[in-house]
Amino acid sequence: MRVDVDGTNDYALTHRIEDDAPASPWAMNLTEHNGRYRYLCFDLDAKNGNAAYDAGRLSLWLDELNIDHLVCVSGPSGGRHVWIALTSSVRADLVATIAHLAAQLLPSLDVAPLSNPATGCVRPPFTPHRRGGRSEPQSPVDVLLAPTVDVDELDALQAFLIDTGATIAPPPQSLVKGMAYDSVGHPYLVGAKRDVSARIREMLNLAPDDNTSRTQGAVLAGCARARWRYADVLALLDTSPALEHARTRSQPDGTRTPRPRAVALKEFAADWSRAVYYVAQNPLEYDAEDEEFASRVAAVSAAVEAAQERARTSPGRWGLDAASRAQRAAQGRPSHRAVLDAVCLYLSQAARVDVEVDIRRLSADTGYGREACRLALLALSTPDVENEPESAWLVRVDDARGVHGARYRLSERFSTGTDEPEWSQAAMRPSPSTAPAAAQRTWWINELGTRLAALAHDAFAAPGSLGRTAGRAYLHVPHEGAAEISELSIAAGMTPSQIHRALYRLQQAGLAERSKAGWHRSPVITRDFVAIALGVDGYLLERSTRYDIERGVWAWWSAECAWMRKRHKKRRGRRATTGVALFAQNDRPDYTRYPRSRTGRPDHALARALVEAGILSPERVDELAA
């Protein structure tokens, strides 16, 4: 067993079972010496949510599955422990998967004991709590003394959690693009080290706020963006006030006590690793020292807001009114609105007045095919008034070149400074708003991203699916609360008869339910289940893969053409190959030789087959170069 001697909830000391039980809190390991779990304990922490409610839900599910278990009130704080004893040990990865699935449905669940076979431990029934009292079982403990649960029942529990709405996350990649490891295994971002921003520099020298974890996370992320390494931040551990979270731990009375040095170093290294991975997976679209970023965000957010408001008040422009099919075709289509939303999303993400737009990316983000996206871009950039380019919704500012797509911006009629001929500094001054510029940008990214994601799904976009009309209705059916047909009709831009038919299809599929208060989304059935039931699951993924292959062939051929046009190149010997990412947007990439036929003509069919087989993946390129 492991003992918490000083009441800090740190079970660092071990104690022999043969000796007398310690007076201080103690915990038992859930695994055997081989790292396989013999006990499962769902630790429901009151500070993370309603532990009693979550324990009741979990106990009900286990009863439905006929899985014997024991519920304990862990102590005076109101936490709960739900125990399961196993007839034989099970794999740690199965237990970790169940823990992460359950955590999505039970907010108070602490997954640490079930995801760390080396040190995961929990206080068993009747053991003392550090704040007084003890762990009180709510039923006989016989279920722990005479186990009846086997691995098959755990598999059934995993399947039940997935059916209830939890999802298995894809395994994390070992290395994110732009990252590397130092000589002792700590991650860092590749690039020349530079000074941190003024904000991070100030935070390093000031006392942290009440949330020391948040302060330390922000500082470590800023250092990672500045291409610092672990040794650089480790040198500040003992001196910087911002790193107080790593040096000490919070106590119930609000004070902080020093962590053991080994524990502090371990926690600090883990926090640094998380910060580097976060920064690598969420790169900034601007330079940290860009002083005009805030003003540019304000201008772009205002333009996006103006364009979206105009689009919302012009349903006929997108074929979302009661006009005939012929009239809708002449005015516009829903695909045009989806493409406009996608371009507004790209502008908000980049915080730039113009962005590169790739029709294949539009296809992936909207669910429409590339030809529909191409026609939508053409329609949106066609002026409503002849010889007045700014009367269009989008203005094309640069043509496509090589692997780069054409660049577009919103018309100046949506700018906050429409009297300016270009996006000058005067036009980019922040406009008055009830929210800061950064908050406006975040709101639009979330709003547009959610709107597009709801429609770009196999259940609505694939042939033989519920259809896009049902998708537009589903987008406006609320998660919480309920809405009447009249409200949904206005929100979706559909006639009452259209919205009624769409809701009926959603109800038949299990995606929407009707109550006395109105319509709401089903809390159980998901779009993935519907896509599988309709036999259209994987349609968009297959199309996206096909587009990726086309993009790869085009990038490879563009690189070949750039090399052929290069002057003074060496014509003898084999060109060196390097591990270039498959779709790296580089004007002068170095790919392996493009396939040729016996006559020397480029063999595009073979190139496509090779790209599909992974010839341009970094691992394969390295293999060819070896």
Q: Tens of pLDDT along 574-613?
A: 444 443 444 444 444 456 788 888 888 988 888 888 888 8
Residue 136 belongs to what domain range? 2-164
The predicted model gives 550-560 an average pLDDT of 82
The predicted model gives 203-224 an average pLDDT of 87
Residue pLDDT, tens place only, 343-382:
999 999 888 888 989 888 898 889 898 898 999 999 999 9
Is 395 in the same domain as 416?
A: yes
Is 270 in the same domain as 358?
A: no
Residue pLDDT, tens place only, 322-351:
554 544 445 578 889 999 999 999 999 888
Is there a contact between 471 and 521 (Cβ–Cβ < 8 Å)? Answer: no
Distance CA 9, CA 25 (A): 8
Residue 495, in any domain of the structure = yes
User: Which token pair is 234?
Assistant: 């480790």
Question: Across the strands, what pairs with 596?
Answer: 602
The predicted model gives 603-624 an average pLDDT of 71
State the pLDDT at residue 2: 55
Residue 171, in any domain of the structure = no
Statement: residue 3 has pLDDT above 80 = no
State the pLDDT at residue 573: 44
DSSP code string of 201-258 = HHHHHS---S-HHHHHHHHHHHHHHTT--HHHHHTTTTT-GGGHHHHEEE-TTS-EEE
Is 203 in the same domain as 155?
A: no
Is 427 in the same domain as 510?
A: no
Give percent above pLDDT 90 in the chain: 21
CA-to-CA separations, 286 to 225, 343, 349, 350, in angstroms, rounded? 11, 18, 10, 8
- Best-predicted range by mean pLDDT among 18-22, 393-397, 401-405, 526-530? 393-397
Question: Across the strands, what pairs with 500?
Answer: none
Is 130 in the same domain as 7?
A: yes
Which strand (E) or helix (H) includes residue 302? helix 293-312
Q: Burial-class residue 233 by CB neighbours within 10 Å (0-12, 13-18, 19+).
A: buried
* Domain termination site, one of 534, 549, 581: 534
Number of structural domains in the chain: 5
Q: Are strands 406-410 and 354-357 parallel, antiparallel or unpaired?
A: antiparallel
Residue 437, in any domain of the structure = yes
Task: Return the higher-pLDDT residue of 254 and 474.
Answer: 474
Is 189 in the same domain as 125?
A: no
Distance CA 541, CA 364 (A): 9
Helix (H, G, I), strand (E, B) or coil at 31: strand
State the pLDDT at residue 626: 44
State the pLDDT at residue 576: 42
Is 391 in the same domain as 471?
A: no
State the pLDDT at residue 175: 57
Residue 54, in any domain of the structure = yes
**pLDDT band for position 250 (cuts 50, 70, 90):** confident
The predicted model gives 237-265 an average pLDDT of 85
Is 297 in the same domain as 389?
A: yes
State the pLDDT at residue 116: 84
Task: Return the higher-pLDDT residue of 325 and 409.
Answer: 409
Residue 568's region, left for phi above 0, alpha for psi from -120 to 50, else beta, is: left
**pLDDT band for position 256 (cuts 50, 70, 90):** confident
Q: How many CA atoms lie less than 13 Å away from 597 in the CB half-sphere?
A: 6
- CATH at 513: 1.10.10.10
* Domain termination site, one of 478, 505, 534: 534
Statement: residue 80 has pLDDT above 90 = yes
State the pLDDT at residue 67: 94
State the pLDDT at residue 99: 92
Residue 288, in any domain of the structure = no
Q: Are strands 248-250 and 256-258 parallel, antiparallel or unpaired?
A: antiparallel
State the pLDDT at residue 312: 84
Residue 170, in any domain of the structure = no
Residue pLDDT, tens place only, 277-287:
888 877 765 54
Residue 596, in any domain of the structure = yes
List the single range of 17-26, 182-191, 378-387, 616-625 with lowest mean pLDDT: 616-625
Is 148 in the same domain as 262?
A: no
- With a CB cutoff of 8 Å and minimum separation 6, the contacts of 306 are 413, 414, 415, 416
- CATH at 28: 3.30.70
Is 367 in the same domain as 428?
A: yes
Statement: residue 42 has pLDDT above 90 = yes
**pLDDT band for position 430 (cuts 50, 70, 90):** very low
Residue pLDDT, tens place only, 91-146:
988 999 999 999 989 989 998 899 888 777 888 888 887 777 888 999 989 999 99
Statement: residue 197 has pLDDT above 90 = no
DSSP code string of 460-482 = HHSTTSS-HHHHHHHHHS-SSS-
Hey, which bits of 489-532 come out as E strands?
512-515, 518-521
CA-to-CA separations, 36 to 15, 171, 333, 626, in angstroms, rounded? 21, 20, 57, 41
Is 543 in the same domain as 526?
A: no
Statement: residue 188 has pLDDT above 80 = yes
Statement: residue 423 has pLDDT above 60 = no
Rg over CA atoms, the chain: 29
* Domain termination site, one of 108, 139, 164: 164
Statement: residue 163 has pLDDT above 90 = no
> Considering the entire predicted model, what is its pTM?
0.49
State the pLDDT at residue 394: 93
DSSP class of 260: P
Residue 169, in any domain of the structure = no
Matching residue, tokens 């001697």: 5
Is there a contact between 212 and 244 (Cβ–Cβ < 8 Å)? Answer: yes
Is 267 in the same domain as 313?
A: no
Closest to 41 in 3D by CA, of 81, 80, 91: 81
Task: Return the higher-pLDDT residue of 127 and 319.
Answer: 127
